[in-house]
Amino acid sequence: MTSDTDLSPDTSDELPEPPMEGPGLFGDPAPAAPAVAAPAPPVALSAGSPVSGPDQPSQPYRVLARKYRPQDFNDLIGQEALVRTLRNAFAQNRVAHAFMLTGVRGVGKTTTARIIARALNCIGPDGKGGPTADPCGVCPECRAILADRHPDVMELDAASNNSVDNVREIREAVRFRPSQGRFKVYILDEVHMLSGAAFNALLKTLEEPPPQVKFLFATTEIRKVPATILSRCQRFDLKRVPQETLRRHFAGIAEKEGAAIEPEALAMIARAADGSVRDGLSLLDQAIAMPTEGEGVSADQVRDMLGLADRALVMDLMEAAMRGDLPATLAAMDRAHERGADPGVVLADMAELTHTLTRFRAVPALRNDPSVPEADRVRGGALAETLTIPVLGRAWQVLLRGINEVADSPDRRAAAEMVLIRLAHLAEMPTPGEIVRRLSGAQGGAQPVAGSQGSGAQGSASPARGAAGPASGTLVGAVGTASIGGPAGGGLRAVAGGAPVAAEVAPAMPPETEAAPAPVPATFREVVALASGRKPMLHAHLVHSVHLVRFDARPEGGRIELRTRPDAPRDLAGQLTALLQETTGARWTVSLSNAPGEPTIAEQSREAKAARLEVAGTHPLVLAVMQAFPGAQIREVRDAALDAYGLPPPDLSMALANDGEPVEEDETGYLPGDDAGPGFAPDDAEPAGMDRP
């Protein structure tokens, strides 16, 4: 089939012989499954292919997309499912009266529609055949449709025939029998462009289709087609043609055209075509036109044409960045820039490579997949060996974000370099899972931190990478278990998991919560807590301006001796007495003293925090994390067991054992470094700060 718009009208009678110039797109019309039957034909690297088009000298140049437009279902590449369904439909004589062909541009929607039109009307070479999935291409019907002059096959562009009047014309026309062929076939391209009224008018016809009429709709935007229309059509989703299929297809065409193209150049065109045969063929057209006579098309030329970065260069960049080698990374970026590669395209290529590497990592067998370019398989396979899926996932995130940053940046090159620097920096860092595993190995005492790298490394240069491990959540759990089994860390039991701490603290908690409703405060801190929320000013002074000298708690009331700071209100003792009377119903005696007493609660809290930080800073796990993340700081040590004042609870078991007895004065022992005190523990299972992206 030649054309609807360009150069055919002058040769109205001889033209319908296109099968002569396109004997199947793979050189031989393999009957059933062209894609499988025809392995990649070698690309003609030398000019003067034996199959060069015989018609070239006599005919004006026709673009490849037209010249090699598929003539039958065997030629249709990359749409095996559609072809199978249509073949079955024709074989069983159950051809729908309306088809909806959808897919991205250039995948062969109208081409398929035209093949169906011929399949419906073909009468075979002897003039006696019926509808067939394999139109003969030689009968008058086939020839007329191929030449675009069949009176019963109407091809309309819905974009320019979108009114209700246009559809009414069709409705009028379908009432008449076909003038020549078996069926009247209406091919409506871009059918989603029809107006609402036009769709409604069309719907009436689709509801009661005359038996001798077939509608073939094509659209790139299926969602704009009303459901009422869709429900009356048999729908076919044409797929993007796979890269490898395109590459083989283009290689075959290049060979037939006698054009020598480097395999890598063909692969680039296939990649750039993004699933569209037509787009790819127009790129191939341009590529073939580039070299001077007698020379082949080189990958460099095609790369320049497409504005692509060199694949090897992208691989260099990726390797350098994943090694954390900043100078090499930036040098490779400079080379890409010199070659005129767009910074955004470079990052997009790197993201694509990251995807490929991740696939290699996830499914190692893909490294033997012939559809993956040789360079990717060899170099990419080796690179993938050294990376883990978490590292690749992180690289993917950085690159995706980076592509947007580059797009938004006034200086695209600078933005791309910043992204690469970030990538190289991140690549050096171990993943949280690796740190925890490595450190938990060290904590067990069997392996020093450095030693655990040896077990994980797979000939990798960077300590950041080890073998792919299980998810970090599992590892955290494992650390928790290990620390229960052997608390090698001494005072610090709960290193990475909150669970062991919770288990140990839990028994202590119920008494405390049971004690809370009891009206008699057992410690001075509980007295202070009574003021919280009730007397904010008093509470603040009790925390900051009061040194406890003596505290006796008894069920019938208690005695408190305090030394107040100068900034405390004079009637503080009176306020506190009133509060205690009010809240406990008991008589308390609050007196002022000149004895130095304890530090204020605020002082205790500060001191305890400093001590916790100090203790935490000496813990091997924390030390190792600090080493792994230079510049990291311990900002806070969270401990679920601490009270609102940041202090560990007093030893309540003793207080309760002495039920009713005066609590010893030093009972409020606040020293956090005390071995009996709970260790520090984050209140969630993740080590703080280690899960940051």
**Is 139 an interacting residue with respect to Zn ion (CB under 5 A)?**
yes
**Is 246 an interacting residue with respect to Zn ion (CB under 5 A)?**
no
Site for Zn ion in 8-47 (CB under 5 A): none
DSSP category for residue 215: E
From 140-148, 176-184, 390-398, 587-595, span contacting Zn ion (CB under 5 A): 140-148
CB of 139 or CB of 663, closer to Zn ion:
139
From 141-149, 286-294, 426-434, 458-466, span contacting Zn ion (CB under 5 A): 141-149
Site for Zn ion in 614-633 (CB under 5 A): none
Q: Provide, rounded to whole angstroms, the least separation between the CB of residue 137 and Zn ion.
A: 6
CB of 76 or CB of 464, closer to Zn ion:
76
CB of 122 or CB of 601, closer to Zn ion:
122
**Is 142 an interacting residue with respect to Zn ion (CB under 5 A)?**
yes
**Is 147 an interacting residue with respect to Zn ion (CB under 5 A)?**
no
From 133-141, 316-324, 379-387, 465-473, span contacting Zn ion (CB under 5 A): 133-141
Pick the closest to residue 363 from 433, 434, 468, 472 (CA basis).
Answer: 468
Pick the closest to residue 274 from 101, 105, 76, 43 (CA basis).
Answer: 105
Q: Are 217 and 110 in contact (CB under 8 A)?
A: no
CB of 34 or CB of 135, closer to Zn ion:
135
CB of 152 or CB of 561, closer to Zn ion:
152
Q: Provide, rounded to whole angstroms, the least separation between the CB of residue 124 and Zn ion.
A: 6
Q: What is the DSSP string of 297-309?
A: BPHHHHHHHHTPP
- In sequence order, the 6+-apart residues with CB closer than 8 A to the CB of 418 are 402, 405
**Is 122 an interacting residue with respect to Zn ion (CB under 5 A)?**
yes
User: How many residues form the binding site for Zn ion (CB under 5 A)?
Assistant: 5
Residue 424, CA distances (Å) to 313, 334, 348, 481, 536 in order: 16, 16, 16, 34, 52
Q: Are 608 and 595 in contact (CB under 8 A)?
A: no
Q: Provide, rounded to whole angstroms, the least separation between the CB of residue 154 and Zn ion.
A: 19
Q: Provide, rounded to whole angstroms, the least separation between the CB of residue 138 and Zn ion.
A: 6
Q: Provide, rounded to whole angstroms, the least separation between the CB of residue 388 and Zn ion.
A: 59
CB of 19 or CB of 463, closer to Zn ion:
19
CB of 124 or CB of 662, closer to Zn ion:
124
Q: Is 188 exposed, middle or buried (0-12, 13-18, 19+ CB in 10 A)?
A: buried
Task: Please give the Cα distance from 142 to 124 (Å, whole number).
Answer: 9
Task: Please give the Cα distance from 105 to 626 (Å, whole number).
Answer: 54
**Is 191 an interacting residue with respect to Zn ion (CB under 5 A)?**
no
DSSP category for residue 239: P
Task: Please give the Cα distance from 464 to 322 (Å, whole number).
Answer: 10
**Is 135 an interacting residue with respect to Zn ion (CB under 5 A)?**
yes
Question: What are the tokens at 584?
Answer: 């406990």
CB of 135 or CB of 648, closer to Zn ion:
135
From 51-59, 121-129, 274-282, 456-464, span contacting Zn ion (CB under 5 A): 121-129
Task: Please give the Cα distance from 290 to 93 (Å, whole number).
Answer: 48
From 134-142, 223-231, 310-318, 642-650, span contacting Zn ion (CB under 5 A): 134-142
CB of 139 or CB of 641, closer to Zn ion:
139
Question: What are the tokens at 661?
Answer: 């007895």
Beta strands in 277-323 (DSSP E): none
**Is 522 an interacting residue with respect to Zn ion (CB under 5 A)?**
no
Q: Provide, rounded to whole angstroms, the least separation between the CB of residue 88 and Zn ion.
A: 20
Site for Zn ion in 385-444 (CB under 5 A): none
Query: Which of 225-236 are b and which e, b meaning 16 or more Cβ less than 10 Å from the residue's Cβ?
Result: beeebeebbeeb
Task: Please give the Cα distance from 113 to 225 (Å, whole number).
Answer: 18
**What is the chain's alpha carbon radius of gyration, rounded to the nearest angstrom?**
40
From 66-74, 87-95, 128-136, 299-307, span contacting Zn ion (CB under 5 A): 128-136
**Is 136 an interacting residue with respect to Zn ion (CB under 5 A)?**
yes
CB of 100 or CB of 116, closer to Zn ion:
116
Q: Are 358 and 334 in contact (CB under 8 A)?
A: no
In three-state secondary structure terms, 575 is: helix
CB of 138 or CB of 508, closer to Zn ion:
138
Q: Provide, rounded to whole angstroms, the least separation between the CB of residue 152 and Zn ion.
A: 14
State the residues that interact with Zn ion by CB under 5 A: 122, 135-136, 139, 142
